[in-house]
Amino acid sequence: MKKTLFAITIGCATALTTMLTAPTSAGAAGLTAPTQQITIQGKKPARFNHGTHTALGLECGACHHDQEHQPRNAEAIGAMAPEQLKCAGCHNKDFKNSKLQKPSQIFHAKCKECHNAGYNDKKGPTKCAGCHLAKGKQAIEGC
């Protein structure tokens, strides 16, 4: 029960933050990455924390790119709605490269490979539970 409540709290907090920051995202406030941990939704939801990654010195464009696969900088991102930043907006069954259509393909390539190789002498989690939320923490009903 405690765990469920915790998950719900995190979920609501994330949703609330998105709502609160959304109206200002076209202005200067949009230039910074979300400070709360976000959940990447899908068949097997995973956690992602921008702060951990920007603290490593990673540019936004290390993960966010445009339709030409050119890196997006904080300014370009600030002018976009969060919805437009969804990786699956491009990487879906219609994507030209069949090896980059499914969430597991793009995220495991992007996230796991760096975690395995390491960055600035630090390694990230490579075990499933290091990124994926435990079952039961997935549903954020009522939020």
Q: Are 113 and 63 in contact (CB under 8 A)?
A: no
Amino acid symbol at 53:
H
**DSSP states of 25-75 as a string?**
TTSGGGGSPPSS-EEE-SSS-EEE-HHHHHTTT--GGGT-B-TTSPBP-HH
Q: How far is residue 142's CA from residue 58's CA, in Å, rounded to a whole number?
A: 35
Question: CA–CA separation, 73 vs 67, rounded Å?
Answer: 14
Query: Does residue number 24 form part of the binding site for ligand HEC (CB under 6 A)?
Result: no
The residues in 116-135 that bind ligand HEC, with binding defined as CB under 6 A, are: 119, 122-126, 128, 130-132
What minimum distance in Å lies between the beta carbon of 127 and ligand HEC? 6
Residue (1 or 93) nearer to ligand HEC, CB: 93
Size of the site for ligand HEC (CB under 6 A): 62
Touching ligand HEC, residues 50-109 (CB under 6 A): 50, 52-54, 56, 58, 60, 62-67, 69, 74, 77, 82, 85-91, 97, 100, 102-104, 106-109
Here the tokens at position 42 are 């899908």
Contacting positions for ligand HEC (CB under 6 A): 18, 32-34, 38, 40, 42-50, 52-54, 56, 58, 60, 62-67, 69, 74, 77, 82, 85-91, 97, 100, 102-104, 106-112, 114-115, 119, 122-126, 128, 130-132
